[in-house]
Amino acid sequence: MSKQIYCGKGKSWGVEWKRYTDRDTGAAVRQLTDYYAHHYHVYFTNNGWYDGGRKLLMGGDRENKYNLYSIDLTSGEIIQLTDYTRITVPDDANFQCICVNPTKDEAYFWDMNRLTAIDLTSLDERVIWEAPKGYMRTILNVTSDGQYVIGSLVKDLSDTIETDLQHGYVGFEEIWAAKPHSMIYKTPICGGDTKIVFEDNCWIGHVNTSPAQPGVITFCHEGPWEKVDHRIWALNHDDGKVWKIRERKSESETIGHEYWYADGVTIGYHGADSASGHRFFGRIRYDNSCESETLFPYETGHIHSNDEKFIVGDGNPNYVLIWRYCRDNNTYEGPRALCIHASSRHQQFVHVHPRFSKDGSQVVFTSDRTGYGSPYIVDVPEFDTLPEIK
């Protein structure tokens, strides 16, 4: 490990990555950090790559402080981007919730209740909004035109409900049952007033902006999947129209982990029916047309895809999994083992959360297989060369 060059923002931590061949699958893997502290990539519904895909954002707690870092995927050099001294962080104000502007190298994160922008080149920071106190902040997202940061605020009930969502989802069901007041806001990036575009007495989370339609987002009714009234919702934040995505077809059905395909019009998800035992992958357009669902007998965990051709998931306790779509019979082949992750998944920061790169050639994921969390990048081999999971 290189010696410290200078303190704080802009500090280079040198190169720590390790390359290896996965012993079970033969895939080429890079462990991106090697330090006695946890590091993690951005939540799987958000893109953490920037600078034309040459760099990747990650959160970390080096020196017992929570800060944002960048790794150059060509050289391996790690640069510290922020200089915060806090040693504890709320569930909702961490760098796993960060988002990158799709039109410029700028990112947005919560510094407590201050919505903060950071220029990823100069590292200059500015506060673009102060959220009202008494609310939990959720994952951030940016509209496809780069004009607005959008997210939700949820009434903080921690004074009456024991809450620790980072470690074991403590209070998860109780918060859902309490129907907390929630608001979806949009904040202009270049200045102006923040607007509340939707509110309800229901736990609203996972606001995801369409990668192609600036006015359209999805959000969810958070809580136990089998108990929420309806999981996936859409909102046009320009005119306020709200509608359900993919109506539940039976009371025994659960759906979740929704995300946008790269086309910005298709929504991917997975689900299960406890009565029939069926599990399925699904995709549907934001206007509820072109629904397609495929049965498969396997646990997926979090899933991600750029389109229907390949899906990556973390449902196996040991492996990152990959499925291939067969258009001829509308089925998914697999799963095949992409690589070992072996993460404990004992807290949110070390959940695996796999995500494809923009071109689909790589998958980023997090694991604490060595004892401390680190982001990993695995090159995706030819599907037929990977071992099957029975």
Tens of pLDDT, residue by residue over 219-233, are: 999 999 999 999 999
Q: Do 209 and 141 form a contact (C-beta atoms < 8 A)?
A: yes
Instruction: Please state the φ and ψ torsions of residue 97, each to the nearest 5 degrees.
Output: -90, 5
Tens of pLDDT, residue by residue over 98-116, are: 999 999 999 999 998 999 9
For residue 4, pLDDT over 80 is answered with no
CA 108 to each of CA 129, 133, 333: distance values in angstroms, whole numbers, following the listed order: 11, 19, 38
Low-confidence winner among 20-29, 83-92, 214-223 (lowest mean pLDDT): 83-92
Low-confidence winner among 102-106, 165-169, 173-177 (lowest mean pLDDT): 165-169
Strands (E), 73-193: 77-80, 99-100, 106-111, 114-119, 125-130, 135-137, 141-142, 148-155, 181-188
pLDDT band at 85 (very low <50, low <70, confident <90, very high): confident
Entry pTM: 0.94
pLDDT band at 7 (very low <50, low <70, confident <90, very high): low
pLDDT band at 74 (very low <50, low <70, confident <90, very high): very high
What the chain holds in terms of domains, given with CATH numbers, is: 89-251 (2.130.10.10)
Bigger pLDDT: 13 or 64?
A: 13
pLDDT of residue 165: 83
Distance between CA atoms of residues 264 and 313, nearest Å:
20
